[in-house]
Structure 1
Amino acid sequence: MKSWYHPWIAALRIARRDAWRAKGRSFLVLAMIALPIMGVSAADLTARSADLSAAQSAERKLGAADARIESPEGGTALAQTPDGRNWKPLNGSTRPGRGGEAPDEQVVSAVRADLPPDAELVKQSEGRIRVRTEYGLLDVQARELDAAHPAVRGLLTLLRGELPDRPGEVVATEAFLKASGLHVGSGVTPRGSGITYKIVGAYEQPDDLAAKELLAPPGSLLGPLDKALRGAGMRGVVAHDSWYVSVGRGGFTWNMVKQANTKGALVVSKAVLVDPPADSEVPLYQVEPPESFGTPRLEAAEMAVIATVVGLTMLEVCLLAGPAFAVGARRSRRQLGLVGANGGDRRHIRAVVLSSGIVIGAAAAVTGIVLGLALTLGLQPVLEEQLGKRFGHFEVRPLEILAIAVLAVLTGLLAAVAPAVTASRQTVLASLTGRRGVRRAGRVLPVLGLIALAAGIGLVLFGAVADLGFMVVAGGSVVAELGIVALTPVLVGLFGRTGRWLPLSPRLALRDAVRNRGRTAPAVAAVLAAVAGTVAVATYQSSAQAQYVHQYTAQLPDGAGRLTLDESGGWRDMPAVREALSRDLPVAVRADVERISVGAPDCEPYAMTPGCGLAEVLVPKDQRCPLWEAPAEQRFSPEQARELGKDWRCQRPSGFAGIETAVADEKLLAVLGITDPGVVRALREGRPVSFDPTQVKDGKVTLRVVTDADQADEARERGEDPPGQDKVFPVHQAPASANAWGIRLLLPPGAVQAAGLRTAPYGSYFSLDGKASTEARQRLDGDIDRMGVDASVHIEEGPGSPDRMMTLILSVFAGLVTIGAAGIATGLAQADAEADLRTLAAVGAAPRVRRTLSGFQCGVVAAMGVVLGAAAGVLPAIGLLLVERREQVRLHEELVAHGFGQGHEPFVPIVVPWETLTGLLVLVPLGAALLAALVTRSSGALARRAQA
């Protein structure tokens, strides 16, 4: 007695033999399925290997220590999340008294008192410094840490050399050595220090491979450098201290963390990271919900997007592989007819064709997974460099790999379903004689496609209008696209009606495509899916670029530039920097700008440094914007805030200058493009010019000079004006059309001197005679580096051109898919059209007709798919843009309700990328047709006729 599986065994044997005989066709289908499987398996292996466990992540953050503590609020009691990433000061808490120790030291001493007697603490200090390299100056992170201490083992990986154990030695990361041009054994000198440190080793941070960092023994780098900088009148090093703690058995528990929080310490505990407490045990979650500190919705959205992309990829593979299986079924129709002639029924014929999908799908699964495994292992160093961190371990999850293999087999099986049904409906006589038979098109699939299309469009529009989020719109777009795929046979028929206006060869190609929709529709649908994704992304990117151009705020007039120094004390080098600017760039006009200096010569505006003050313009109280001056507890309704936003007192000058009160002559007006005669005349006559009417009262502006920045800070906290000496200047108010690009008050040098104020160099504004070449910019940067200063040069060049890389990649992908799908359909058409080609040759058709017909057959399929894909791709982009517009409108209303955002209405345009559409609609079908014509032999039909 034969069981149900015996026919399947025979079918699998037939399919395996047939696949081996037709190696070219089998390899094509196998490659189609194996390539996405390779990508999915490689992505799964990479994600799982890069995803660290809680214990591994804790070890990389803390090494062998049990916890790390710091004081982010200067000793103020706080509440924190279990992972220590977020915290909030507790209301009503006060900082501890300032004794002889720094606040951080006080916090650590208080926490140390609660720890076991044998607990160990290892101090770490971090700060940003500049060091001299082979090329100039480089900004790096500097750390002081006893890296040989057992408590910090595992924080870094020593690659070569040795750890520093004495002053004057440092180890450097590989990223620093690569960027600086230095090597192990070189000397590195921090800027502002006379000490050269020897690099005795190279290391890396497993969790941050791109970190440019130097590590020195405690007290040997940051402290001496800070002292040297301050002694030279420059800004010192801002260091941040933390402590690694080892407490022994039991670790640093959650109760110990909460106790440390009451003393102002923020704690990252290894025990808590591995076994976090329940939300009910976290005091911070009683004040704010845990959802406000996490991103579960974002992770769910990312998983949904990934699932959608994988699903659409498999759909394209099925649609592409389906015609290839149809080719096999066509070429094996005599064999299938023999199965029927020997007693096989329709289910046996279906089993043979479906077995082809199973066999090739299984082979593709094995090939794709093996290639994915080899690719991940071979590219692991490259993947780690791209991710910026080392894998914790190479992890293979058998169940997930098995699921990927099942997906490959299922893809092959689904791709063979339609050819199997078509082959089973052929009569035995038609199969043995090669006749095609006639079958009426079904009506169920088009109806379902029409319903899916309507439902998808409804979901897109409803999701955009009803504020249901991006995922609903994306899901509706996928449903609509599937509906168009289901409608493809009907749409192909509609395309056939245009054949009456075409010449002979394209008319024959179009008629053949319409008559054989079973092979044409899947290929058209595959092209549709690829092109739709490209068009959707291109439409979204074009709209985003238009929105960016609309919202772009220029810092200066087009072609103008600004040079400023980035560090305190650099004012001494300003003359040399200005000379280099004029020498290296084609400067037409250069306006040197000064700033008012209060206190030491290197004091910067608003620099809260002892001995430094500031000068700021006072706005009369009755001319201050109510939205900005209202107490924090006062709330305005959205309508009130919107109305107040239109008040002249709440209008501020647009642009960004970096300095609100500038000292310069009329050359600055020429650079900024200000040609108002009144403004030019006033500045030339030595009168200050105001570009903000809110600061002018009775034709005068009050400039308050504050000698103690700390007192000014305390006064602002109380909501009061800072105490100081007032300097009153009669000013000329510039018209609203005069744009000073963020400068609110422009003082001529004579007026500043007459007021007894001192100035210091701020920078230079300049206009160019032409454009600055890349070589000129590099030459200027090199000259500035050789001076030992750090300066910023900004040249206004507009919003810039959009990044078309993603669109280009997708367009190339769509073109390849289009050519591949059209080529498969053309191969099937040639297999089916042998009789027609023999007939054409018999009636006197030229040999090149075969080549011409093949090219038009491929071009027709590509053109139909591109047209339908372009129409289908615009829908999801429009839906996503409508949702984004709604989100921005809601955000704008919230900002207006809080007194911000006036005058900046949301602008989310919908821009169709005509360049991309033109390229897809014209170049891709034309390229597919030419390629098919070139690879087709023109003498095939005559040879076959001679053999007949």
Structure 2
Amino acid sequence: MKNWFHSWRAAVRIARRDAWRFKGRSFLVLAMIALPILGVSAADVTLRSSDLSTAESLNRDLGRADARISDPSLAGEPLLQNPTGEQYAPVGDFENKPWPDGPADVKKTIPPGATVLEDTLGSGKLRTTHGLLHTEIRELKASDPMAQGIMRLLDGRFPEKGGEVAATTHFLETSGLRVGSKLTARGLDADYRIVGEYELPSSLGTDQVNALPGAFLAPLDKALKADDLPGTSPTTTRLVSLSGGFTWNMVQEANAKGVTVTSRAVQLNPPADSDVPLYQQDGWGTYEQSTASKTFEMAAMGTIVGLAMLEICLLAGPAFAVGARRSRRQLGLVGANGGDRSHIRAIVLSGGLVIGVASAVVGTVLGVALTFALRPVLEEYNGGRFGGMEIRPLELIGIAALAVLTGLLAAIVPAVTASRQTVLASLTGRRGVRRSSRVLPVLGLIAFALGAAIALYGSTMTDQFAIVAGGSALAELGVVALTPALVGLFGRIGRWMPLSPRLALRDAVRNRGRTAPAVAAVLAAVAGTVAVSTYEASSDAQSRAAYTPELPHGAVSVMLDEGGGRDVPAVRTAVQKNLPTEIRADVDRISVGKPSCSMYGGEDGCGRYEVVVPKANQCPLWMNNGGEDPSEKFSKAERRKLIKDWRCKEGDVYSSVNGGVLIGDAKLLAVLGIKDADAEKALADGRIVSFDKRNIDTNGKIGIRLITDVEAADAAFEKGEDPPGDVKTVAAHQVAGSPNAYGIAMILTPATAEATGLSTVPLGAYYSTGAMPSSAQKQKLDSELDKTGSDVSLHIEGGYVSENSIVLLALTVFAGLVTIGAAGIATGLAQADAEADLKTLAAVGAPARVRRTLSGFQCGVVAVMGVLLGSMAGVLPAIGLRLTQRRSEEDWYREALDEGLSAVDLPHVPIVIPWGTLAALLVAVPLGAAILAALVTRSHRVLGRRAAT
């Protein structure tokens, strides 16, 4: 070895040969390092490929056109826009005058000599093999060369005649139709033939059909309006192609005529911000991420990468220590032949270098190959096609270098340990006396105390999540540093254990150099799992408490607010036929104007009704003051006092019925779970049953105002006056105890409504069920409701459904795998170190099962210690984050009280420990690790030869 190059080359050759000789250990370490590299490299290629460039995005939006002209319906008023056309505003101040509304003359904005292609988008309900499906309808001559790139044809051809359409793959899969099938729309007698299948490259999950301009939307809209049904409300944009492209000056000229423009030339070469008039207006500008936010994201990313590298090093480090133990005679021979400590360190470090390079190559290559292989699956999951497989060599090289660095870092501690052994100890196999560091536990204790203090300060004195997270991370690192000392504390319980677990615990304590890293790896994985699980379980409990059911559990409601209720009887029968219903309560609604009017009015000849709230019962914070905010005349203290007033209490459930008044009978009370004999008697006596005492005047009556002139009513409201209309009064009964009526304000019977002079139309029904409807029953009912051709609103109250169960399961499985892996590595190292002890046990006649049970307990001891310490370390950050969130929500609640907002409730931010996850980690995972280690360990006796003297 003449110089450092030759010595390192020899060290690398020795490490490469050693790695090839011990393939099992090498493969284990390679897999540990390569798997994260595989995931990161695959994620990098996936993200880069799915992130479309500006040119690729424009090809999918504009095809081969140079621009897309859109009418924002500002009545042709001049406007200003940003270079992309996504932001715009009319020129001038419209604060004190009506906002412009109406179409612009788009033809005047098209440059002379330009080629124009119309692109119209609407929607409608199309008939499928299952019923009706709300679908986008696009009228665009897709076969035109200008449209190439917007749609990707997969089968057949694009429409060439008026009676032809093409459909997206998702629509065909959902509808059960195929190329060649007939297609009809609700309200339209004409048939269309599906002649092609296509996809929208950036929106694979869209249900859309394509037709020629004027072939589908116009006839459908006309047919629906003739049948007094809502139309399709199509919007039209123009694709424009012209020589020289659509420049920024041309865009501004088009803006002056009241349209916006998406220009290819402008987006590929955008103007400076100073040349964009919109950015010079008050309140407008380019919105970039703040430096502090970017710094925080970089810090978070660096923390994640650092912790991941620490995790891999903690797992791979003991494996390199195993190699150093098994090669100690070889390393001793190096020292005996003149090699110094630096050469021994170089050999062990070269092992990390060889494995790191191999992991980098294997992980990167497999990551890229996996992305290529799973490209269709990834595109479907992402909902859009890649622009192309984009591989950035510098980024992949950086990821690969991370693997090499991780391998070297994992081998540092074993290298230093191996170099400190004397030549005699290495050749004879003696381990000597090894003392643990006294500085590391002190540093760990300081880091733990400081991190806990920072996290406590962040959770109790500030609203900054970053402070809590940073303090918790520092405290966890402190616990990792304390691990060797904590392992020693565990050894004190060994005196009360049987032989095998006592030997395993003693061996773990005596050899903390290999036990502590494995325990720390388990600790880190379990701590992260427990922290996330605790936070997710607490958030889930908060969401469960905040969930407001619309009906009693299992109850069903069906509403139909169109066509004057002509399809309601069929809808009621369909629900009762397909679901396990018990009680059916038919309900009607009050109608003002034509029977075909919806409950919300808005059409010509349609009015509305409102419940007259007596002045004395109106909340002072809500009283109509002619458009002025009534709460402004009260102080904060007065607002806080008023929102506790019974007049200012709001219901928890928003009513699905406008006005909250239903026409029904006592069966509705039964479905809602309201058991009140007085309420049933009141209905039978012809009185209206009220669930809100604010609606009842001093005479015990309720007034319902029928408004026929909606415009006059709105004008009166603006002036702070009562709207004109006939008021019908009905004797009322107030239900005692304020039961949950699920958004229903009052109930009156059909006979009472008729006697009062209220016109009614069928609305729907409420049902109670004997059991929750199954998925098959729901699907069958949906198919039956589709056949009616009506827009039916169906709700089945299934209660709160948690979405965190899969997350918690995945976290538990991940922590379990890391625990078993780390414990297995520590067990392998223990067996390598304790080979002489095992031979001695065999020589003195120990039973064959001792080797197997000892191996199982060695693995179990590491797992138990890591899981216990990790569980305690993981609860701290979760509690800190929840306390911080509680403070933040309480501050917002106090601000809402000061503003007089009564719709907000006192925040409920619970802290819930996921005992199921903890039980699996504390019991199942260590037990599984111990059993697995015992099963894979050979139990037969192996007696070695006496070493030659």
Q: Same fold (TM over 0.5)?
A: yes
- 2:590 corresponding residue in structure 1: 596
Read off the aligned partner of 2:735 and give its amino acid letter: A
- 1:807 corresponding residue in structure 2: 808
Taking the aligned partners of 1:288 and 1:638, their CA distance within structure 2 comes to 29
Taking the aligned partners of 2:718 and 2:157, their CA distance within structure 1 comes to 50
Say whether the 8 Å CA contact 2:564–2:595 is kept in structure 1.
no
Identify the match of residue 472 of structure 2 among 460, 465, 477.
Answer: 477
Shift of 1:686: 0.9
Identify the match of residue 457 of structure 1 among 452, 463, 475.
Answer: 452
CA gap 1:148/1:495 in 2 versus in 1, 3 angstroms? same
Shift of 1:207: 1.0
Taking the aligned partners of 1:173 and 1:408, their CA distance within structure 2 comes to 44
Identify the match of residue 158 of structure 1 among 153, 161, 164.
Answer: 153
User: 2:631 aligned with 1:608, yes or no?
Assistant: no
Say whether the 8 Å CA contact 1:42–1:372 is kept in structure 2.
yes
Report the more deviating stretch, 619-628 or 364-373.
619-628
User: 2:876 aligned with 1:872, yes or no?
Assistant: no
Taking the aligned partners of 1:813 and 1:142, their CA distance within structure 2 comes to 45
CA gap 1:496/1:258 in 2 versus in 1, 3 angstroms? farther
TM-score (norm 1): 0.94
Secondary structure in structure 1 of the residue aligned to 2:566: helix
CA gap 1:82/1:304 in 2 versus in 1, 3 angstroms? farther
Shift of 1:678: 2.9
Structure 2 matches for 1:49-128, cutoff 5 A? 49-72=49-72, 74-75=74-75, 80-87=81-88, 91-92=93-94, 103-104=102-103, 106-109=104-107, 112-113=108-109, 115-128=110-123
Shift of 1:525: 1.0
Taking the aligned partners of 1:663 and 1:54, their CA distance within structure 2 comes to 57
Shift of 1:537: 1.6
User: 2:201 aligned with 1:206, yes or no?
Assistant: yes
Secondary structure in structure 2 of the residue aligned to 1:52: coil
CA gap 1:182/1:868 in 2 versus in 1, 3 angstroms? same
Say whether the 8 Å CA contact 2:886–2:909 is kept in structure 1.
yes
- 1:562 corresponding residue in structure 2: 557
Say whether the 8 Å CA contact 1:79–1:284 is kept in structure 2.
no
CA gap 1:926/1:623 in 2 versus in 1, 3 angstroms? same
Taking the aligned partners of 1:647 and 1:203, their CA distance within structure 2 comes to 60
- 2:371 corresponding residue in structure 1: 376
Say whether the 8 Å CA contact 1:74–1:95 is kept in structure 2.
no
Say whether the 8 Å CA contact 1:559–1:797 is kept in structure 2.
yes
Say whether the 8 Å CA contact 1:570–1:789 is kept in structure 2.
no
- 1:21 corresponding residue in structure 2: 21
Deviations 1:228-260 (A, max 9, x none): 11222222222233333445425241x554555
Say whether the 8 Å CA contact 1:642–1:902 is kept in structure 2.
no
Taking the aligned partners of 1:812 and 1:261, their CA distance within structure 2 comes to 57
Say whether the 8 Å CA contact 1:235–1:569 is kept in structure 2.
no
- 1:332 corresponding residue in structure 2: 327
Taking the aligned partners of 2:553 and 2:948, their CA distance within structure 1 comes to 74
Deviations 1:474-511 (A, max 9, x none): 33332222222121111111111111221111111001
CA gap 1:276/1:418 in 2 versus in 1, 3 angstroms? same
Taking the aligned partners of 1:300 and 1:387, their CA distance within structure 2 comes to 28
- 1:178 corresponding residue in structure 2: 173
CA gap 1:941/1:282 in 2 versus in 1, 3 angstroms? farther
- 2:512 corresponding residue in structure 1: 517
Shift of 1:704: 1.9
Shift of 1:661: 1.3
Say whether the 8 Å CA contact 1:593–1:662 is kept in structure 2.
yes
Report the more deviating stretch, 38-47 or 137-146.
137-146
Identify the match of residue 578 of structure 1 among 572, 587, 612.
Answer: 572
Shift of 1:138: 1.0
Say whether the 8 Å CA contact 1:609–1:709 is kept in structure 2.
no
Secondary structure in structure 2 of the residue aligned to 1:731: strand
Shift of 1:833: 0.5
Taking the aligned partners of 1:941 and 1:901, their CA distance within structure 2 comes to 79
Say whether the 8 Å CA contact 2:273–2:279 is kept in structure 1.
no
- 1:403 corresponding residue in structure 2: 398
Taking the aligned partners of 2:290 and 2:207, their CA distance within structure 1 comes to 29
Secondary structure in structure 2 of the residue aligned to 1:741: coil
Structure 2 matches for 1:397-796, cutoff 5 A? 397-467=392-462, 469-565=464-560, 568-569=562-563, 571-629=565-623, 631=627, 635=632, 638-659=636-657, 660-698=660-698, 699-713=700-714, 716=717, 721-796=722-797
Taking the aligned partners of 1:900 and 1:947, their CA distance within structure 2 comes to 89
Deviations 1:730-783 (A, max 9, x none): 322233423221111222212211233221111111112343333333333333
Taking the aligned partners of 1:904 and 1:479, their CA distance within structure 2 comes to 36
Shift of 1:108: 2.4
Identify the match of residue 230 of structure 1 among 195, 203, 225.
Answer: 225
Shift of 1:296: 8.3
Structure 2 matches for 1:299-310, cutoff 5 A? 304-310=299-305
Taking the aligned partners of 1:17 and 1:570, their CA distance within structure 2 comes to 86
CA gap 1:540/1:678 in 2 versus in 1, 3 angstroms? same
CA gap 1:199/1:95 in 2 versus in 1, 3 angstroms? farther
Read off the aligned partner of 2:68 and give its amino acid letter: R
Shift of 1:121: 4.1
Shift of 1:921: 0.2
Say whether the 8 Å CA contact 1:653–1:744 is kept in structure 2.
no
Taking the aligned partners of 1:491 and 1:653, their CA distance within structure 2 comes to 55
Say whether the 8 Å CA contact 1:700–1:730 is kept in structure 2.
yes
- 2:934 corresponding residue in structure 1: 933
Say whether the 8 Å CA contact 1:11–1:352 is kept in structure 2.
yes
- 1:2 corresponding residue in structure 2: 2
Shift of 1:529: 1.4
Q: What is the alpha-carbon root mean square deviation over aligned residues?
A: 2.6
Structure 2: gaps spanning 5 or more residues:
none
User: 2:242 aligned with 1:240, yes or no?
Assistant: no
Deviations 1:75-95 (A, max 9, x none): 366555443444556632766
Secondary structure in structure 1 of the residue aligned to 2:772: coil
Taking the aligned partners of 2:847 and 2:304, their CA distance within structure 1 comes to 47
Taking the aligned partners of 2:291 and 2:67, their CA distance within structure 1 comes to 26
Taking the aligned partners of 1:895 and 1:128, their CA distance within structure 2 comes to 40
Secondary structure in structure 1 of the residue aligned to 2:621: helix
Deviations 1:775-811 (A, max 9, x none): 3333333332334444333232321345311111111
CA gap 1:364/1:770 in 2 versus in 1, 3 angstroms? closer
CA gap 1:738/1:439 in 2 versus in 1, 3 angstroms? closer
Report the more deviating stretch, 631-640 or 190-199.
631-640
Read off the aligned partner of 2:178 and give its amino acid letter: H
Taking the aligned partners of 1:604 and 1:303, their CA distance within structure 2 comes to 54
Taking the aligned partners of 2:250 and 2:677, their CA distance within structure 1 comes to 71
Deviations 1:513-549 (A, max 9, x none): 0111111111111111111121112111110111011
Deviations 1:194-225 (A, max 9, x none): 11111111111111111111111111211111
Taking the aligned partners of 1:38 and 1:650, their CA distance within structure 2 comes to 59
Deviations 1:392-421 (A, max 9, x none): 121111111111111000000000011001
Identify the match of residue 381 of structure 2 among 362, 379, 386.
Answer: 386
Read off the aligned partner of 2:303 and give its amino acid letter: T
Report the more deviating stretch, 728-737 or 630-639.
630-639
Shift of 1:665: 1.1
User: 2:851 aligned with 1:850, yes or no?
Assistant: yes
Deviations 1:88-128 (A, max 9, x none): 56632766988xxxx22x2525xx34x53223443332222
Report the more deviating stretch, 696-705 or 586-595.
696-705
Read off the aligned partner of 2:752 and give its amino acid letter: A
Say whether the 8 Å CA contact 2:63–2:149 is kept in structure 1.
yes
Identify the match of residue 348 of structure 1 among 339, 343, 350.
Answer: 343
Taking the aligned partners of 1:468 and 1:942, their CA distance within structure 2 comes to 65
Say whether the 8 Å CA contact 1:327–1:831 is kept in structure 2.
yes
Say whether the 8 Å CA contact 2:893–2:904 is kept in structure 1.
no
Taking the aligned partners of 1:561 and 1:624, their CA distance within structure 2 comes to 33
Say whether the 8 Å CA contact 1:646–1:902 is kept in structure 2.
no
User: 2:219 aligned with 1:218, yes or no?
Assistant: no
CA gap 1:602/1:311 in 2 versus in 1, 3 angstroms? farther
Taking the aligned partners of 2:628 and 2:55, their CA distance within structure 1 comes to 44
Say whether the 8 Å CA contact 1:638–1:893 is kept in structure 2.
no
Shift of 1:310: 3.2
